[in-house]
Amino acid sequence: MSTSIPARIAALREAMTRHGVAACLVPSADPHLSEYLPAHWQAREWLSGFDGSAGILLVTAAEAGLWTDSRYFSQAEQQLASSGIALMKQRISHAPEHLTWLQQHLHQGDVLAVAGDSVSVATQRQIERLLGSVGIKLRVDLDLPGMVWSDRPALPKAPVVEHPLTYAGTTRAEKFDRLRNALRKQHATHHLVSSLDDIAWLTNLRGSDVECNPVFLAHLLVETAGRATLFVDRTKLNDSLVAALSGDNIRIASYATLGDALGELAASDTLLLDPGRVVSAVLQMVGAKATRVEGPNPSTQFKACKSETELTHIREVMRRDGVALVRAFRRLEERLAAGMTQTELDVDVLLREERSAQPDFIGESFATIAGYMENGALPHYRATADAHNTLQRHGLLLVDSGGQYLGGTTDITRVLALGPTTAEQRRDATLVMKGMIALSRARFPKGASGPQLDALARAPLWASGMDYGHGTGHGVGYFLNVHEGPQSIRPPIAGGALVPLEPGMISSIEPGLYKPARHGIRHENLAVVIEADQTEFGEFYAFETLTLCPFDRRALEPGLLNPEERAWLDDYHASVRAALGPLMEDADLAWLEKHCAPL
């Protein structure tokens, strides 16, 4: 059924009226609280027309608003035009967040509804605490968007496959033994895991139920006594895989029967669950007799700290990914020099062609962002057949892309000078580079967290009265989600947890600068935390840069770099040349050597 956005909002309001609901909250979430969602749970996009990965829709009888952050302001403004839905900017001074807005617009006794399979236990409690103080009630037993979404897509059916032990490095049995040891320390007999990347990592399985993320829809119930149950669509697994799982005491049950198993927990059972990673609807399934304890999923920390086997594969993947990027950028440069018409869409095609030629490439780790000139100022821009720029032989092209390989996940951003650049463009690119170098060179004590380091990347921009609205770094999975917790590098958040950076954790380092209608800058490498020094003041850590691809020095103003910064950049390019050179020849090698020459 094809209906307009205003018609869909009107249908939602009719359902709200029937059920006595004053406001309906539609977050970007599924029963696994994933960042990227299967189509079946993209209710916020279906209702609003806004397809950014982050956003919250709020509908009342008279008003509708879409809350999103600065990465998506321009995109949301365009996509919400004529929808009747107002753009509400998050994390902006004097602009109310959605729960504050509700406190101001609803009245005592009013009811807010949010589907229980799209809100975490922790968020439900936060809403109840804030809105309950002014007499607003919350219902999580109504899926109002689902009631009006008549052509809702079915659940995905992609097959589940084994992640070869050669790459996984650690057997399922070893991972589950480690997990059970952690559960015993918390006196838990059972542990519920609903986050898809945790399940994929623990079971050494991968899927493709979510675009660009090699995960599959499932819940996992682990028993300390030695058994585990994987709740998944059985048709996704072949018989040999089911037998292999059975050999590790993992039985298969229907995805829809999780509630039955949770309801059967006895008074002698103690269930560990993470209130930030389990939805309200699942918590309601837990039997009243069982004891519940709450805490982070132990596996989240385990998989964040990559093993030496994983890091060995990742370093090789970075070489192969770097070769693909060099070849793609060289081909693009030659096409433009030959007068061929090239668009932002062609950049995506070139990158896919070259990555596909590399060993063990599976697919992109996210949709490529290729933004020329003003489109580069949209942090999460995506060119389409109907809206894209044609490249010219001047100015800046921002390219943010990544790949999924059996041996790791990549994420890299480079800013290419396609011809003459302005002094402003070069200055901006260099200030962002200074921030990247400062953070990449950082030494920090054991126990330090990303929010404590974030300012290092922003300081050169702050000194010139500029800043950027996104975080500086996110964790990255191992042939898993390109965005992974628990660590991050971003400004401190009031009440937010300070997760220490630990050896083996991989993070992006990606400061940026965005000037609407002009240009955008973002430099991005992936780096792993390593042990650096032991002094009288304790242990100190550092970053080892993993990404291997030249920066386009034509986009920089070298005179703005101090001697230490110039030395870092020259050393980085020397390492890129040494790592990639043996895999390249002829025109590709010549291009590499040219772009890796010292400043």
DSSP 299-317: HHHHHHB--HHHHHHHHHH
Measured distance CA(79)–CA(552) in Å, rounded: 33
What's residue 512's pLDDT? 98
Measured distance CA(278)–CA(412) in Å, rounded: 31
- C-alpha angle 547-161-30 in degrees, rounded to nearest 5: 80
- Residue 5 corresponds to which tokens in the numbers above? 């956005």
* pLDDT of residue 6 exceeding 70: yes
Rounded mean pLDDT, 164-175: 97
* pLDDT of residue 1 exceeding 80: no
Measured distance CA(180)–CA(189) in Å, rounded: 9
Could you tell me which residues are beta bridge partners of residue 364? 403
What's residue 71's pLDDT? 77
Measured distance CA(34)–CA(218) in Å, rounded: 12
Sign, CA torsion 247/218/411/444: negative
Rounded mean pLDDT, 559-580: 98
Could you tell me which residues are beta bridge partners of residue 540? 445, 533
Measured distance CA(566)–CA(498) in Å, rounded: 32
* pLDDT of residue 500 exceeding 50: yes
For residues 307 and 504, is the Cβ–Cβ distance under 8 A?
yes
For residues 343 and 574, is the Cβ–Cβ distance under 8 A?
no
**Can you tell me whether residue 508 is helix, strand or coil?**
strand
* pLDDT of residue 116 exceeding 90: yes
* pLDDT of residue 502 exceeding 80: yes
Tokens 């390492």: give the residue.
575
- Residue 316 corresponds to which tokens in the numbers above? 């090789």
What's residue 74's pLDDT? 80
**pLDDT tens digits for range 123-164:** 999 999 999 999 999 999 999 999 999 899 999 999 999 999
Close Cβ partners of 150 (under 8 Å, ≥ 6 residues apart) = 1
- Residue 488 corresponds to which tokens in the numbers above? 């991050």
SS3 for 436-465 is HHHHHCCEEECCCEHHHHHHHHHHHHHCCC
- Residue 94 corresponds to which tokens in the numbers above? 């004097």
DSSP-derived secondary structure letter, 560: G
Measured distance CA(160)–CA(140) in Å, rounded: 31
What global pTM score does this model have?
A: 0.94
**pLDDT tens digits for range 53-74:** 889 999 999 999 999 987 788 8
Measured distance CA(154)–CA(38) in Å, rounded: 9
DSSP-derived secondary structure letter, 21: -
CA 549 to chain centroid: 22
Measured distance CA(309)–CA(148) in Å, rounded: 49
Q: At what angle do helices 423-440 and 450-462 cross, to 10 degrees?
A: 150
Measured distance CA(209)–CA(178) in Å, rounded: 27
Neighbours of 326 (CB within 10 A): 24
What is the C-alpha R_g of the chain? 25
For residues 65 and 90, is the Cβ–Cβ distance under 8 A?
no
Q: At what angle do helices 172-185 and 196-203 cross, to 10 degrees?
A: 120
**pLDDT tens digits for range 260-314:** 999 999 999 999 999 999 999 999 999 889 999 999 999 999 999 999 999 999 9
For every residue of 453-507, DSSP letters joined together read HHHHHHHHHHTTT---SS-SEEE--SSS-SSEEEEEES---TT---PBP-TTBEE
For every residue of 86-100, DSSP letters joined together read EEEETT-TTPPPHHH
- Residue 205 corresponds to which tokens in the numbers above? 């399985």
Rounded mean pLDDT, 370-381: 92
For every residue of 180-246, DSSP letters joined together read HHHHHHTT-SEEEE--HHHHHHHHTEE--SBTTB-----EEEEETTS-EEEE--GGGS-HHHHHHHH
Measured distance CA(596)–CA(599) in Å, rounded: 9
Q: Which amino acid makes up residue 351?
A: L
Pick from 295, 552, 280, 273: nearest CA to 413: 552
For residues 193 and 297, is the Cβ–Cβ distance under 8 A?
yes
What's residue 54's pLDDT? 86
Phi, psi of 222 (to 5 degrees): -105, 130
Between the alpha carbon of residue 283 and those of residues 266, 323, 421, the distances in Å are: 15, 47, 56
**pLDDT tens digits for range 506-520:** 999 999 999 999 999
Neighbours of 212 (CB within 10 A): 18
Measured distance CA(206)–CA(160) in Å, rounded: 6
Domains of the chain listed by start with CATH number: 5-148 (3.40.350.10), 161-304 (3.40.350.10), 308-595 (3.90.230.10)
**pLDDT tens digits for range 314-360:** 999 999 999 999 999 999 999 999 999 999 999 999 999 999 999 99
- Residue 218 corresponds to which tokens in the numbers above? 């499932």
Measured distance CA(49)–CA(503) in Å, rounded: 42
> What is the phi-psi region of residue 296: left when phi exceeds 0, alpha when psi lies from -120 to 50, beta otherwise?
beta
